[in-house]
Amino acid sequence: MTVAITRQDLSAADLRQAAGRTAEANVARRMLAIALVLKGCSRTEAAEVCAMDRQTLRDWVHRYNASGLDGLSDQPRRNGPLPRLSAAQQAEVAAWVDEGADLKRDGVVRWRRVDLQHRIEQSFGVCLHERTVGKLLHKLSFRRLSVRPQHPKSDPEAQATFQAEFSALVTAALPPEAAGKPVEIWFGDEARVGQQGTLTRIWAKRGTRPRAPRDRRFQSAYLFGAVCPERETGAAIVMPEVGIEAMNEHLVAISQNVGVGAIAVLVLDKAGWHTSARLKLPDNIVLLPLLPYAPELNPTENIWEYMRKNWFGHQVWPSYKAVVDACCEAWNKLMRMPERIASLTQREWAAIAVSG
């Protein structure tokens, strides 16, 4: 059955002009086909000239009658079925995951897909497959990540205040003689590296339990490291133990790497060897203590994690010397990767302190 063209707002000439202006070839063909029909051509001839069949032309006439030129444009296509959960429901699921599972309320201490599957069904009456729950979590930008320990006494509000007031804290830590000198922010910490080694994640076939070597001996060394994120550099020493003497040696190494004429504000935790009156501070270094129970404020922690996962994991070292050599090799390798130092350690709140 032939469908009449009921719209009269555009003539055949108007449709040809519109076809000449559009950048979409398919849309132009539809306009020209309807223009040919308005001019008196048969539907079969118009369809053939414009490279479509008669039924397709009939469908586009329906669209043109209903919506005019807009009806001749390609409509956005949907990939897959409509989502089972509304945007508001998806946002609620995201809030559950952000908040974390509660043992008393949810019966588990961490969310698994099956746990979220049950809660979604209970809350919304929608039954999703576990794989669909996993796809939803990816869509909501969640990933399975390793957690880091958090001390029960840590204070997130105090940490936020520390970051907000970091520039003022740096200014207060500087001595009067530092006026007019360039200021560098350094972060320092120590890591124990030993024969006990580290196990880390690897790719393996689903359902298997891969094995990796791990030593059972106890020889270890301490890697004293400090980095200047903005200069993308650092200084380190390896010592058999932590203590004031070792820290003094590390301060000398840092001092030798501070920019000429600059003064370094060394941010570090309140370990006893960091706060002792017996420390011998070089003239170009001042200390700024971190908040207690706040290792996440020290980006040097990221360096230790990176080294353990990439260079220290799954290793067997036969002696103390081998441990020391591994520490030196790893640190020197990192120092040849300034872009990696930056990505691991740069923090906006610390950079503001330097620029300010």
Cα angle for residues 236, 341, 295 (degrees, 5° grid): 70
DSSP secondary structure letter of residue 68: G
| Full DSSP string of 243-299 | SHHHHHHHHHHHHHHSPTT-EEEEEE---HHHH-TT----TTEEEEEPPTT-GGG-T
Distance in angstroms (rounded) separating the CA atoms of residues 3 and 65: 10
Average pLDDT over all residues of the chain:
91
Say what the pLDDT of residue 354 is. 62
Say what the pLDDT of residue 353 is. 62
Distances (CA, A) of 326 to 195, 276, 307, 318: 11, 30, 10, 11
Q: What confidence tier does 92 reach under pLDDT thresholds 50, 70, 90? A: very high
284-338 pLDDT tens trace = 999 999 999 999 999 999 999 999 989 998 888 999 999 999 999 999 999 999 9
State both tokens at 141.
């930008």
| Full DSSP string of 69-137 | GGGGSPPPPP-SSPPSS-HHHHHHHHHHHHH---HHHHSSSS--HHHHHHHHHHHHS----HHHHHHHH
Distance in angstroms (rounded) separating the CA atoms of residues 113 and 179: 57
Element (H, E) at 234: strand 233-239
Q: What confidence tier does 197 reach under pLDDT thresholds 50, 70, 90? A: confident
Amino acid occupying residue 209: R
Contact 240, 199 (CB under 8 A): no
State both tokens at 86.
């509304």
Distance in angstroms (rounded) separating the CA atoms of residues 145 and 138: 12
Annotate 176-189 with three-state secondary structure.
Answer: HHHCCCCEEEEEEE
2-32 pLDDT tens trace = 778 888 899 999 999 999 898 899 999 999 9
DSSP secondary structure letter of residue 142: -
Say what the pLDDT of residue 1 is. 59
Q: Which pTM value belongs to this model?
A: 0.67
51-61 pLDDT tens trace = 999 899 999 99
As a whole number of Å, the end-to-end CA separation of the chain is: 76
Burial class (CB in 10 A: 0-12, 13-18, 19+), 209: exposed
Say what the pLDDT of residue 185 is. 97
Q: What φ, ψ does residue 134 adopt, rounded to 5°? A: -60, -40
Amino acid occupying residue 158: A
Say what the pLDDT of residue 145 is. 80
